[in-house]
Structure 1
Amino acid sequence: MTFLPSTHTDFVIERRFAAAPDAVFQAWADPQARRNWSDCHSEQGSEARFDFRPMGRETHRVVHPDGRAQSIDRVYFDIVADRRIVFGYDIRLDGRPLSVSLVTVEFFASARGTRMVYTEQLAYLDGHEDREQRIRGTQEGLDRLALLLSPSDAAS
């Protein structure tokens, strides 16, 4: 087997919500709210575990229609209510590691609600690379978060 070195990248997405930082933070902290906006594979049947606390773990497993099994395992390193969430996660497909990420989500009060900054640093493993897809998927989840927080307010 040919060894492929890891590659690294990062991206930042900034969003503004017409809701206070505590409401935006709560949408991350509450398991049902989180599932409503972040689960892009809910229609395919999945298994999930959610433990939102420092050093808590989150697990999400799904079997795609083509039979491939995807798993995402997350660890929360730092949580400051209404201000910051720092977590790491890895993605595996059929047991093969694809990527490992470190994510920081920060919430800032603004005159119109909340400015949220999502920063993800990624290490891609063994030739896998899906940066544009990862950015698009994250943006789609944050679009659903905007709708959850304020159905009449479009994501910005």
Structure 2
Amino acid sequence: MHGSFALQVGFSASPEQVFAAFADPGLRTRWFRLPGSSKNATHALDFRVGGSEVAANLFVSGDIEERLEYRSRFHDIVPDRRIVYVYEAHVDGLRRWVSLVTVELAAEGAGSRLDWTEQYAYLVLSGDGGQDTAHLRGGTRLLLNGLSAVVEPERYRGLAKIRPGGA
């Protein structure tokens, strides 16, 4: 099964600041994480054309335990404007899908706009694949929310203080 989707996010941060969150390993690991405990996580980033990124983690939830791995290769990088890369996602050693991602950055007002376009090919489906594509889109949205928290920390500062029920 294959398809594509696009997401757009506006930031008060400049394109340079958003690009840095992709390129700087210290910033990247603050928002790019695989599900699971940080004690089991590994991450390596070589941010250059021809470079790669590899991340792995053990995800445990109840009686479910999955070994997750992400492997990417950067094909085009234009500082502060564009990143094109291919990645593959593995679950328990099985390659589940491969994606081509284009991230475009543009100045917009006092901030920037990020356009994320992803073309995916699922190699192994769960059921009819509907849950897989929903999971991919939702996971990407969560990643971009994490990116927002890194490049716009003032926007998220007070959120941790909110408690259920308004207490």
TM-score (norm 1): 0.88
Instruction: Give the aligned residue type for 1:135.
Output: R
> Structure 1 residue 133 and structure 2 residue 135: aligned?
yes
Distance 2:41 2:146 in 1: 19
In structure 2, the CA distance between the partners of 1:127 and 1:40, relative to structure 1 (3 Å rule), is closer
In structure 2, the CA distance between the partners of 1:40 and 1:97, relative to structure 1 (3 Å rule), is closer
Output one character per residue of 1:58-102: Cα deviation in whole Å (capped at 9) or x when no partner.
111112224321111100000000000000000111111100000
Question: Residue 96 of structure 1 corresponds to which residue in structure 2?
Answer: 94
Taking only aligned residues, the RMSD between alpha carbons, in angstroms, comes to: 1.5
More displaced stretch, 32-41 vs 115-124: 32-41
Query: How far apart are residue 125 of structure 1 and its match?
Result: 0.7
Query: How far apart are residue 42 of structure 1 and its match?
Result: 5.7
Match of 1:50 among 35, 45, 54: 45
Question: Residue 73 of structure 2 corresponds to which residue in structure 1?
Answer: 75
Query: How far apart are residue 110 of structure 1 and its match?
Result: 1.1
Query: How far apart are residue 53 of structure 1 and its match?
Result: 0.3
Query: How far apart are residue 48 of structure 1 and its match?
Result: 1.5
| 8 Å Cα contact 2:96-2:124 kept in structure 1 | yes
Instruction: Give the aligned residue type for 1:73.
Output: R
Query: How far apart are residue 43 of structure 1 and its match?
Result: 2.2
Distance 1:80 1:151 in 2: 25
**1:24 partner SS:** helix
Output one character per residue of 1:77-134: Cα deviation in whole Å (capped at 9) or x when no partner.
0000000000000011111110000000000011131011001000001334311111
| 8 Å Cα contact 1:18-1:153 kept in structure 2 | no
Number of residue pairs aligned between Structure 1 and Structure 2: 148
Instruction: Give the aligned residue type for 1:62.
Output: N
**2:75 partner SS:** strand
Where in structure 2 are the equivalents of 1:10-89 lying within 5 Å? 10-41=4-35, 43-44=37-38, 45-65=40-60, 66-89=64-87
Bigger relative contact order, structure 1 or 2 (CA pairs below 8 A, ≥6 apart) = 1
Question: Residue 4 of structure 1 corresponds to which residue in structure 2?
Answer: none
Distance 2:141 2:113 in 1: 15
Distance 1:26 1:42 in 2: 25
| 8 Å Cα contact 2:34-2:55 kept in structure 1 | no
Distance 1:42 1:67 in 2: 10
| 8 Å Cα contact 2:11-2:112 kept in structure 1 | yes
Question: Residue 152 of structure 1 corresponds to which residue in structure 2?
Answer: 154
Question: Which 5+ residue runs of structure 2 have no aligned equivalent?
Answer: 157-167
Distance 1:126 1:38 in 2: 24
In structure 2, the CA distance between the partners of 1:62 and 1:109, relative to structure 1 (3 Å rule), is same
**1:74 partner SS:** strand
